[in-house]
Amino acid sequence: MVHYVRLRFADWYQYYLEISSNLRLDVRKDILSSIILSNLIPPETLDLNCLNKLNGKKTLIIGAGPSIEDPSVQKFIRDRSDFVIISSDGSTELCLQLNIVPDFVVTDLDGDIDSLLSANKSGSKLVIHAHGDNIDKILRFVPRFRNFFGTTQVFPLQNVFNFGGFTDGDRCVFLADEFQCAEIWLVGMDFSSSIGYFSKKRRICNLNLKRKKLLIGKNLIEMLAKRSDSIMINVTTFKFNSLINGTIEYKLK
């Protein structure tokens, strides 16, 4: 099946340059990380055809925001067994607690590694992202995974792809849009809320930087929603009401 690239790299790169300038990212380290990841990907790893199962399907993307700790949100997730499930890094741990093995896991290896390894062993296909701050984790953990492929936020390589997106959560959305899902349902995308248990729970991080990245992720999804052919539905609760412009709000009681 011929793969059709919906977001051209030239379109994405202007957003990346603005992000890298605002956050003072080292573009050279991003490129180096991509090259290192590329060299660690075995020839027999996955090709893009496995992602064609997203075409025309209903997809549930699970972010790692605090709302996924809510029982009503967890029930909503459990009831979507007929959806293609894409977890965002830290939310993979919750999926396993709910006895759900995500179809795909989008990660920069910043979440709970044991959960990522367990999901991968149980059948989840990983989308491992390279950037300048995770070179050490790529070198340490990538050899332990199977059934995965690589992504980057800079220039794509022969076996490392760029579908757009910056944080794990919005990269999930860009991936689902790229492979033409009919409906993209979002849960745990609490961009304006506090940092949740399943996000950065085991390390002290720069909360101001984290919130800047979350805002970037929100803005990117809103940009994508304007141009996407997919229907995007954002699941919210009364306690966690993080609206995303361009999406349809689905509020849980």
Q: Radius of gyration of the chain from Cα atoms?
A: 17
Where do the DSSP E strands lie in the chain? 58-62, 84-88, 104-107, 125-130, 148-152, 160-161, 183-187, 231-236, 248-251
Per-residue pLDDT for the chain (253 aa), expressed as one digit of tens each? 334 445 678 889 999 999 999 999 999 999 999 999 999 998 877 777 888 889 999 999 999 999 999 999 999 999 998 999 999 999 999 999 999 999 999 999 999 999 999 999 999 999 999 999 999 999 999 999 999 999 999 999 989 999 999 999 999 999 999 999 999 999 999 887 667 676 665 554 677 888 899 999 999 999 999 999 999 999 998 787 788 999 999 999 7
Q: What is the pTM of this model?
A: 0.92
Distance between CA atoms of residues 65 and 104, nearest Å: 18
Contacts of 201 (CB under 8 A, 6+ apart): 90
- CATH number among 2.40.128, 3.30.70, 3.90.1480, 3.30.200, domain 9-251: 3.90.1480
Pairwise CA distance, residues 73 & 198, whole Å? 14
pLDDT at res. 201: 54
User: What per-residue confidence (pLDDT) applies to 7?
Assistant: 64
pLDDT at 240: 75
- Report the mean per-residue pLDDT for the chain: 90
pLDDT at residue 221 in the model? 96
What is the 8-class DSSP label of residue 228?
Answer: -
Q: Rounded CA gap, 154 and 145, in Å? A: 23
Residue 165 has a pLDDT of 95
* Cα–Cα nearest to 65, from 165, 169, 167: 169
Q: How far apart are CA 35 and CA 154, in angstroms?
A: 11
Domain map (residue ranges) of the chain? 9-251
Q: What share of the chain is helix, strand, coil (3-state, %, to 5)?
A: 40, 15, 40
pLDDT in tens, 172-203: 999 999 999 999 999 999 887 667 676 665 55
pLDDT at 6: 57
